[in-house]
Amino acid sequence: MSMITAKDGTQIFYKDWGKGQPVVFSHGWPLSADAWDAQMNFLGERGYRVIAHDRRGHGRSEQTWTGNDMDTYADDLAALTAALDLQEAIHVGHSTGGGEVARYIGRHGTKRVAKAVLLGAVPPVMLKGAANPEGVPMEVFDGIRAGVRRDRSQFFKDLTIPFYNANREGAQVSQGVREAFWLAGMQGGIKALLDCIKQFSETDFTEDLKAIDVPTLIAHGDDDQIVPIGNSALRSVNFVKGAELKIYAGGSHGLAQIQAEAFNEDLLKFIQK
């Protein structure tokens, strides 16, 4: 397996396919790089170099006890781009991965970055607070932590229902997609997965968004039950100068898998602009 070594010695798994301008993918919680297979195959067949890593503690990367924080995730991404000497890269982040991309740019700048795509992303901040009264209450995230601690296998199976809008009339998600989600979640280290909940829920990415100075696509499903659009994309677009907003009618949090054809075409159009 292909690995890079992060600055604290942690082994980070990555996939690197094809040749051409690099497109780098950052996945959501509790998944792995495999969540991007539809996009990587699509763009790879069209002449792009496609790269995705498993976040530390997730998938095939080393299961870590410490370092499971957004700054370190961003630094791991920077280590990957440096190790592969990527130039003019397009960074695509979903959910927690969207936060990772924003923090990466906030900490490391855009000298290696050509464009950014935030899909169903957690910025600016998910947690409800005095400055974010429309946010998600802490009780929701405490419930996620409790579910992972008590029986993460069943919790991940149950989570696929709102994640892919399987509870909506006419839902198109297959049992296979739901089982793949469960498998990815079970491959991660429980300590790292628990730590990551705090990172995707409580991190404030407002200043990171303001630091993005490359063309940016902010894409979101308007029926996202995991990261509600009103508290995320519709706010983030106000912080990223010149950002383009794409809303998918009825779109779920997992639209990159179950609406892959539509998203892939939109992603390609944005990359080619």
* 24 in Cβ contact with 115 (< 8 Å): no
Q: Do residues 252 and 221 touch, judged by C-beta distance below 8 A?
A: yes
Q: Which of 257, 237, 269 is nearest to 178 (CA)?
A: 257
At 257, list the tokens: 């898998």
* Tens-digit pLDDT profile for residues 189-232: 999 999 999 999 999 999 999 999 999 999 999 999 999 999 99
Digit-coded pLDDT (tens) for 47-93: 999 999 999 999 999 999 999 999 999 999 999 999 999 999 999 99
Over the chain, what is the mean pLDDT? 98
Q: Is the pLDDT of residue 110 over 90?
A: yes
Range of the structural domain that residue 230 is part of: 3-272
Encode pLDDT of 134-159 as tens digits: 999 999 999 999 999 999 999 999 99
Instruction: Fill in the amino acid letter for 74.
Output: A
Reported as a pLDDT band with limits 50, 70 and 90, residue 1 is confident
Q: Could you list the active site residues?
A: 95, 224, 253
Residues 61/11, Cβ–Cβ less than 8 Å: yes
Token representation of residue 203 = 């991190």
- Provide the strand spans (E) within the chain: 3-5, 11-17, 22-26, 49-53, 89-94, 113-119, 216-221, 244-248
Residues 66, 26: Cα–Cα separation, whole Å: 20
The order of strands in the sheet holding 113-119 is 3-5, 11-17, 49-53, 22-26, 89-94, 113-119, 216-221, 244-248
Q: What average pLDDT does this structure show over 106-133?
A: 97
Please report where in the chains the tokens 């579910």 appear, as a residue. Answer: 147
> Number of folded domains in the chain?
1
Give the model's pLDDT for residue 171. Answer: 93
Q: What type of residue is 82?
A: A
Please give the structure tokens belonging to residue 39: 């996009």
Beta carbons of 10 and 56 less than 8 angstroms apart: yes
What is the rounded distance in angstroms from the CA atom of residue 109 to the CA atom of residue 116? 12
- The CATH number assigned to the domain holding 177 equals 3.40.50.1820
